Structure formats: structure tokens, C-alpha cells
Amino acid sequence: MKALMFGWEFPPHILGGLGTASYGLTKGMWECGNMDITFVIPKPFGDEDKSFAKIIGASQTPIAWRDVSREYVESRIGNVMNPDEYFRLRDHIYADFNYMRTNDLGCIEFSGRYPDNLLEEINNYSICAGVIARTEEFDVIHSHDWLTYPAGIHAKQVTGKPLVIHVHATDFDRSRGNVNPTVYNIERDGMLHADHIITVSNLTRNTVIDKYGIDPAKVTTVHNAVTPLSEELLNVNPPRAKEKVVTFLGRITMQKGPEYFVEAAARVLKNNHNVRFVMAGSGDMMDKMITLAAERGIADRFHFPGFQKGKQVYEMLKASDVYVMPSV
């Protein structure tokens, strides 16, 4: 079976759990055998693991014709994409997109992150998906999270191939019920167009059914798996602090409940000052948490080391006495 998979991030360049989950799921599917996967992301960097999936970048997918030589394409994007792939995609441009802002290769630039113009990038990504879907051979479309649902819908409309969407979270989770109507509509549109929906928990499945009005027969829970750690990561040996260390490690955003961690720290430190608290990660609530720690008078016992990746994550966990994830 051949799958055309749409994602928003892919290791080693990740911003949260979505990239890690996409990587593990894709590799796991490939290891089952008889599975050929093309994984599309907005902006590859060239150092992604391509041993089990073909990587296509929307930022290297031409949507406007440019008369360029193979040598020029090689010099521009050769570290990310084979020039032959570029020309193969160029043969499947399906409309005149010259009115759009494109670069010298006729491609749209993507941030590879979650920029302020995220909705614009989601729309642009779906335009690129039309070129890719017309070029690639596949049996099924698989879209990860709401960011890629429009791309999956476009690919389905172009080819008639079945669409499976993977719901890693809904906006009800991310916003604690204060749902963004634009995001909600994108999510529901993806669910209505999908031939089947995969959710990562029964809680999420119930949200999809109850909040989005989706037929239960169309929704299946597939729990995220785990990968055994390598000996190197199991045996990391970071320096240990003299005090006890309590750690939060994750996105510092509403969904993860970071303020509960700060408030709990303040209560603990009233009774035991021999504790250090670490809030590792990044997110839109980081400044608020720094301010809250200062307001509670515990800033001298609180650390914000920023986003951690790779080996840093395991060193931080190993150096901790307690790990807390107050996710809501």
C-alpha cells in the first residue's frame, strides 16, 4: 500500500509532540511491511531521516512555471530535493498561480513553524498539495491534525482516493473550551470529508463525536505507542543538584496547565524551601509564567531553561526527582 501523508513537522526539527508522533507512527507503519510512505511537510531542512519515508517539501513544490535549468535547481534546493523531483512536480501545476508571491523557482516560501499568518500558510500548503497529489502515486491519504486537513481534502478531491485524518487534539483541548471558530470549522470540515478518523484517546474520540457531530462508526481510537530508549539515553548521567528538583517539561501553553505547576510550587515552597522547580519548554504562556513566579515570590527557586531537544530531554528528566505534567 502507498500512503500520501500530510504533516506539519518532522524530526529533527520539531516544535512539539506532533512531529515526534508523526515520526513514530510513520516509522511504525513502514516497519509493518508492504507500506510505501510519502510524507509532506511545509519546509524540510535536508537532514530528515528518509530511510522509511520519502520527504516532499511544500516549499520546494512549484505552483508557478519557471524556466530554470537543472543546474540552477540543484544549486538552490539540491540539499533538500532531487532536481528531477522538482521538474516532475512542475509538470503537474494545475492553475495559474502567478498572482501569488512565489520565489525564483515558482515555489511558495514557508516558515516551517507556527507563524502569525498560520492560516495563510495552511491555505498555501493545500495549494501545494494539489500539485503533489497530481504527481504522486498512492492508495490512501493520511492527514495529521487540523493544520493539514485542507491539504488532505484537496488531495481527495483531486484523486478520489480515501482520506484518513489523525486527530492528535482538538481545539476544545487546546483552548479549554474557548474554541476558535475558524479552527473549529477547519477541524469539522476535515472530519466531514474524511472517510475515517483516528483519534489518540477515547476522550478525544468522544469529543469528535459529541462536539463535532460525527458518526461514531467513523471514528477509531489508536493510542500512541512508545519506543524503547537506546542504551546511550538510558544511561545519561547529568550532574545532580543538592536540592530536590521538580520538573515540568512540555509546551508552555494553556492545554498543558502550566499555571497549576507554578501555583503548586508556591505552596510547596511555603513548607520546604529546599526544592528547585524547572519549567522546561517554550510556548505562548512562557512570559506569563515568568511573571506569575515573580508575583508569587518564588523566582529565585524557579528556572526556565527553554526548549529542550534530543539528549537534553533525557538529561533533564534524569536530573529530576519528580516530573509533573498538569495537563488539562
What are 293's three cell numbers?
A: 513566579
pLDDT, average across residues 9-15: 89
Measured CA to CA, the distance from residue 61 to residue 121 in angstroms comes to 14
Residue 153: pLDDT over 80 = yes
Residues 57 and 154 in one domain: yes
Residues 210 and 162 in one domain: yes
pLDDT tens readout for residues 124-143: 999 999 999 999 999 999 99
pLDDT, average across residues 63-83: 97
Residue identified by cell 511573571 is 291
Q: Which domain CATH number covers 283?
A: 3.40.50.2000
Is residue 241 a part of any domain in this protein? yes
Nearest residue to 113 (alpha-carbon basis) of 38, 5, 41: 41
pLDDT, average across residues 179-187: 96
Domain stops at, among 196, 221, 246: 221
Burial label for 223, CB within 10 Å (0-12, 13-18, 19+), is: exposed
| Ramachandran bin of 297, using left for φ above 0, alpha for ψ from -120 to 50, beta for the remaining angles | left
Is residue 226 a part of any domain in this protein? no
Is residue 173 a part of any domain in this protein? yes
Measured CA to CA, the distance from residue 19 to residue 154 in angstroms comes to 22
Residues 215 and 255 in one domain: no
Residues 173 and 46 in one domain: yes
Are 307 and 283 in contact, with CB atoms under 8 Å apart? Answer: no
pLDDT, average across residues 199-212: 97
What are 199's three cell numbers?
A: 483519534
Domain stops at, among 192, 221, 250: 221
Is residue 146 a part of any domain in this protein? yes
- Strand order through the sheet with 163-167: 54-57, 36-41, 2-6, 140-144, 163-167, 196-199, 219-221
Are 59 and 107 in contact, with CB atoms under 8 Å apart? Answer: yes
**pLDDT value, residue 14:** 84
Are 208 and 199 in contact, with CB atoms under 8 Å apart? Answer: yes
**pTM, to two decimals:** 0.87
Residues 88 and 157 in one domain: yes
pLDDT, average across residues 151-175: 95
pLDDT tens readout for residues 210-221: 999 999 999 999
**pLDDT value, residue 178:** 87
Measured CA to CA, the distance from residue 6 to residue 165 in angstroms comes to 9
Is residue 328 a part of any domain in this protein? no
Label residue 173 by pLDDT band (50, 70, 90).
confident
Residue 16: pLDDT over 80 = no
Instruction: Determine the structural domain holding residue 194 and report its residue range.
Output: 2-221
Residues 269 and 121 in one domain: no
Domain stops at, among 221, 255, 271: 221
Torsion sign across C-alpha atoms 140, 146, 147, 151: positive
Number of domains in the chain: 2
**pLDDT value, residue 53:** 96
pLDDT tens readout for residues 236-283: 989 888 899 999 999 899 989 999 999 999 999 999 999 999 999 999
Residues 123 and 178 in one domain: yes
Residues 237 and 216 in one domain: no
- Strand order through the sheet with 275-280: 302-306, 275-280, 244-249, 322-323
Burial label for 181, CB within 10 Å (0-12, 13-18, 19+), is: exposed
Residue 177: pLDDT over 80 = no
What DSSP character marks residue 13? B
Is residue 165 a part of any domain in this protein? yes
Average of per-residue pLDDT values in the chain: 95
**pLDDT value, residue 327:** 87
Start-to-end Cα distance in the chain: 38
Residues 9 and 93 in one domain: yes
